[in-house]
A and B are shown apart, each in its own frame.
Chain A
């Protein structure tokens, strides 16, 4: 169990912001920090990792105090058991894939674990390559594996997939889910992507101007607690065509483009580029497996 209650003064584009984060994360939970840029999501991660120091408060992980302003305890990042995955991967360019992972290992058990992790992310054949010769998706998988070598108490993912193309994003989301299920490591993710958040997280913490406004299951948050459709999809609005008296909306759901017909009053609420919820009631959807070659 991770108990966070910290304050920190942030300087954002809109001026000085007094942030206060109060949050409890359960063991093995996948929690996503969701919110606009400059709200303090990344700062909260960095405070947990010890890369930045809170102005006051307390961070307690499994009964061990990592930070306490009253007791004057502030463990450096080296002494906190965290795995941090950066947006720019932060792989060590002069080390091979395997050396990057081995660099993190502290004992023989972890050195053996490096091979297990390489197998898990299917990068064993590339283990002796330098990071510069790999694709963005491969680099981020290495960064993820490297963060796991030391069996961290918490895995911190700072928009790890934002630099990748949609197909690669989906593949890595699946991999993240697989790793989280297999290892059960408590995970904190910063994300801007609604689909990603819904797919991966147990709970979502909505962050706005340095405060946690809401903590709930992600679907509950995005559907404003009211809808109860049989089939719900979240997509990005690509195109709105008025064909009186109806409106044809084109949405991007995952990596597929979906067209649907809605009423004019509903159409007026949609904006191109924004996210929308597609909810189908009354019908029984047909779901059949796809032949993937």
Chain B
């Protein structure tokens, strides 16, 4: 029982960490695109990014399940390359990345949009490439946006339920994460175990958020 609890918690945080890391790499260029683009497709991209905020998780989960199934075009392609996404950890990661996307993109986008244009131009006239400007000037400037994004995406992935239930099922040490475990334990009237999961999630989430808000406040004061 105890090993199962530990396995589940490790899997939960592993999923959240990997998802957050992937999201960080996707979201910085995506947010930059949304802030600086002048194409008329901007609204469409923005809508797609924001969809998970309002869409029932079961809807996304259902379509992902269809896409992952060997009967579909994508699923067939993946299966022929030996990749199985439905009921697998990799599938959970893809689902979580899509579902937590706005929680990472929005804080970065809003922080980026507040950086004056002249900061970029100053760096360019000082001979710096776009990449150097991004890494050395812009990312340090928008660090609270990055921190907010990381925390929100991480916490949201930990709390993920609907999508995972649809595509992941409940396989111990493969796709059984804490939120699913709580539901499962309650279903089998095992309240003590459900409580153990729930309280752990509660305390961990509270501590992370508290730590980050305290640090963020301090770093903001340092800049004034």
Q: Which residues of chain A come closer than 8 Å to B125, judged between CB atoms?
A: 49-51, 77-78, 80, 82-84, 147
A140 to B126, CA, bound (A): 16
Query: Does any Cβ of B come within 8 Å of A226's Cβ?
Result: no
Cβ of A93 within 8 Å of any chain B Cβ, yes or no, is yes
Interface flag for A146 (CB, 8 Å): yes
Q: Is the CB of B124 within 8 A of A78?
A: yes
Distance of A98 Cα from B112 Cα, bound (Å): 25
| Bound form: Cα–Cα A90–B141 in Å | 12
Contacting pair B118 A88 (CB below 8 A):
yes
Given contacts A92-B141, A93-B223, A94-B140, contact A150 B127 (CB under 8 A): yes
B116 at the interface (CB under 8 A from A): yes
* Minimum distance in angstroms from B134 CB to a CB of chain A: 13
From B124, B137, B222, B224, give the contact of A92 (CB < 8 A): B137
B139 → A minimal CB distance (Å): 9
- In the complex, what residues of A have CB within 8 A of residue B129's CB? 78
User: Min CB distance, B111 to chain A, in Å?
Assistant: 13
- Chain B contact residues, majority secondary structure: helix
Min CB gap A14→B, angstroms: 23
Q: Is the CB of B121 within 8 A of A77?
A: yes
Chain A residues lying within 8 Å of B137, measured Cβ to Cβ, are: 92, 94-95, 103
State whether the Cβ of B122 lies closer than 8 Å to any Cβ in chain A: yes
Question: Is there a chain B Cβ closer than 8 Å to A21's Cβ?
Answer: no
- The answer to the question of B119 belonging to the interface, with a C-beta cut-off of 8 Å to chain A, is yes
B126 touching A103 by the CB < 8 A rule? yes
Q: Scan residues 113-138 of chain B and give those whose CB is less than 8 A from a CB of chain A.
A: 116, 118-119, 121-129, 136-137
| A78 contacts B141, C-beta separation under 8 Å | no
Contact A86 B141 (CB under 8 A): no
Question: Which residues does chain B contribute within 8 Å of A253, judged by CB atoms?
Answer: none
Find out whether the CB atom of B122 lies under 8 angstroms from the CB atom of A90.
yes
Interface residues of A (CB under 8 A from B): 49-51, 76-80, 82-84, 86-88, 90-95, 103-104, 106, 130, 132, 143, 146-147, 149-150
What are the 5 closest A-B residue pairs judged by CB atoms, nearest first? A90-B118, A90-B122, A94-B140, A84-B125, A77-B124
